[in-house]
Amino acid sequence: MELYYSFSALIVLASIFAYLNYRFLKLPSTIGIMVIAIVVSIFLVMFGETVLPRTFGHLHNLMDSIDFTEVLMGAMLNFLLFAGGIHININDLKEQFRPVVIFSTAGVVISTFVVGFGMFYLLPYVGVKLPFIYCLVFGALISPTDPVAVLSVLKQANVSKSLETKVAGESLFNDGMAVVVFTVILQLAVGKEVDLSVETIGLLLLKEAGGGLLLGVLLGWVTSRLMREVDDYIISVLVTLSVVMGGYLIARQMHISGPLTMVAAGLFMGNFNRSFKMKSVTQDYLIKFWELIDEILNAVLFLFIGFELLMIKDLKHFMVPGLLAIIVVLLARFISIWGPTKFTSLRKSFSPQTVKVLVWGGIRGGVSIALAMSIPKSEYSEIILSITYCVVVFSIIVQGLTIAKVANPNKIAKEEEEQEQESLAVEEKA
């Protein structure tokens, strides 16, 4: 019953904060909920023990009783990724296949090492000493963009379809690479012997990412065939729920990527089901059901992120390192995007404005916090969690609220057209 009480309290708080945001703040729903939760958390941290000791105690105990890593990575993320995948057009994704693959693999590795080296050499200047291996751990957990945060923010930004697919596709698929990199580096950090040969890491990535994608496609194909035979909205909803919940259990037992399983299943079902004539009422119920699930879980997740402030001790001592981390992470994001676009054939299709949007649209969220909280307790775990929180809050609030202004669709279209004309001119001369 404890889990029921905890979830009930979170739903009540999320609904209250959503109402207050709608009436007064007028921010995007998820960001508004998180902002209110952070303000409440700051007030409780500063005055809670003297002014509202019981409220402070109850909220602190509530957050302490919930395993954020398990709740997000083991439950909520599966629903959110499936809901995100089911709404993406596979043809749009095919057009952006190369940049999505490069950014979600090589981009993650480049960013991990740029952040790691940057934090290792700069943190001593602000009075924090973090071993190089733990700097790399931070780099690994903060490098992948968060699919939930990105998809939530992209709904508010007026960007072109191709750019939206690049950003959303990268965020959906970079979990596989990120988890492998994070797992290997964390095992090195805690002193476990790890075989760092290319063959071993390649097999781990193939099993984690490739296995997840394969299982997702298999689940999507089987359930889509079943839904073709029974065109009923109640059964359709139940079938998709079983894919998410049962699919995660299978992925966990097989030790493969649950998030990538959900992405692949969502993509397959969302696109395969369009090839047969589904009753309009069935399709309408199915789409609205997953939109509702997406909105509710997003609200709870961003509430979680806001209240995680209650669990971080002496956050103010890490504010300066946190600001430093924000700069380093943004620089690493720029290098991980700019580098591949300059030194591969992608340079023909990426204008400076597009790169700027991709850099600023690389939003971090709950996944980074969940990975930070999964680090075994040590003298360095609190530092990493604190600076991770600073980066995530800045990313969601500042980048999330300004991405629409940074994304100038007319300017992007003009620059891409000019680049295409230049490329054609070069090809004609050749």
- Report pLDDT for 276: 57
Structure tokens at 326: 């924000």
Residue 99 makes CB contacts below 8 A (sequence gap 6+) with 166, 170, 340, 341, 346, 349, 350
- Report pLDDT for 155: 67
Residue 260 and residue 43: Cα distance in Å, rounded?
Answer: 38
Structure tokens at 121: 């050499």
- Report pLDDT for 422: 58
Quickly name the fold that domain 68-423 has: Na+/H+ antiporter like fold (1.20.1530)
Q: How many CB atoms lie within 10 A of CB 62?
A: 17
Reported as a single tens digit per residue, the pLDDT across 11-27 is 999 999 999 999 999 99
What is the distance, to the nearest Å, from the Cα of residue 291 to the centroid of all Cα atoms in its chain?
18
pTM across the whole model: 0.88
Q: Is 107 exposed, middle or buried (0-12, 13-18, 19+ CB in 10 A)?
A: buried
In the chain, where the domains are located: 1-65, 68-423
- Report pLDDT for 173: 86
Residue showing tokens 């934090």 = 119
Amino acid letter, residue 37: A
Structure tokens at 73: 């990575």
Residue 109 and residue 171: Cα distance in Å, rounded?
Answer: 14
Neighbour-count burial for 311-320, b at 16+ CB within 10 Å, e otherwise = bbeebeebeb
Measure the CA angle with vertex 150, ends 147 and 153; round to 5°: 145
Give me the residues of the chain with pLDDT under 70, please.
Answer: 1, 155-158, 196, 273-279, 344-349, 408-430
- Report pLDDT for 366: 87
3-state secondary structure the chain: CHHHHHHHHHHHHHHHHHHHHHHHHCCCHHHHHHHHHHHHHHHHHHHHHHHCHHHHHHHHHHHHHCCHHHHHHHHHHHHHHHHHHHCCCHHHHHHCHHHHHHHHHHHHHHHHHHHHHHHHHHHHHHCCCCCHHHHHHHHHHHCCCCHHHHHHHHCCCCCCHHHHHHHHHHHHHHHHHHHHHHHHHHHHHCCCCCCCCHHHHHHHHHHHHHHHHHHHHHHHHHHHHHHHHCCCHHHHHHHHHHHHHHHHHHHHHHCCCHHHHHHHHHHHHHHHHHHCCCCHHHHHHHHHHHHHHHHHHHHHHHHHHHHHHHHCCCHHHHHHHHHHHHHHHHHHHHHHHHHHHHHCHHHHHCCHHHHHHHHHCCCCCHHHHHHHHCCCCCCCHHHHHHHHHHHHHHHHHHHHHHHHHHCCHHHHHHHHHHHHHHHHHHHHHC
- Report pLDDT for 368: 92
- Report pLDDT for 51: 77
